[in-house]
A and B are shown apart, each in its own frame.
Chain A
Amino acid sequence: MELDENPAFDLTSEFDPTGDQPNAIAELTAGLKRGDDYQTLLGATGTGKTFSISNVIQNVNMPTLVMSHNKTLAAQLYAELRNFFPENRVEFFISYYDYYQPESYIVPSDTYIEKDMAINERIDRLRLRATSSLVSGRDDVIVVASVSCIYGLGAPDEYASQIIQIKPGERVERDEFLHDLISLYYERNDIEFEPGTFRVRGDVVDIFPAYMADERRAYRIEFWGDEVDSISTFHPDSGKTLDEEEFLTIYPANLFVTSEDQLERAIESIEEELKWRLAVLREEGKLVEAQRLEQRTMFDLEMMK
Chain B
Amino acid sequence: MFESLTEKLQGIFDKLARRGKLTEEDVDAGLREVRLALLEADVSYKVVKDFIARVKERAVGAEVMRSLTPAQQVIKIVHEELIATLGEPSKVDLSGTPPHVIMLVGLQGSGKTTTAAKLALRLRKAGQRPLLVAADTYRPAAVTQLEILGRQLDIPVHSEGVEVPPPTICVNALKRAEAAAYNVVIMDTAGRLHIDDEMMSELEHIKRLTRPREVLLVADAMTGQDAVRVASDFHQRVGLTGLILTKVDGDARGGAAISIRAVTGVPIKFLGVGEKTDALEPFHPDRLASRILGMGDVLSLIEKAQAEMDETQAMAMGQKLLQGEFNLEDFLAQLHQVKKLGPLSQLLEMIPGYSNISKEISPELTDKQMKRVEAIISSMTREERLNPLIINASRKRRIARGSGTTVQDVNMLLSQFRQMQRMVKRLGQGRGRRGLMSLFR
Question: Do A and B associate with each other?
Answer: no
The interface of chain A, by Cβ under 8 A from chain B, is: none
The interface of chain B, by Cβ under 8 A from chain A, is: none
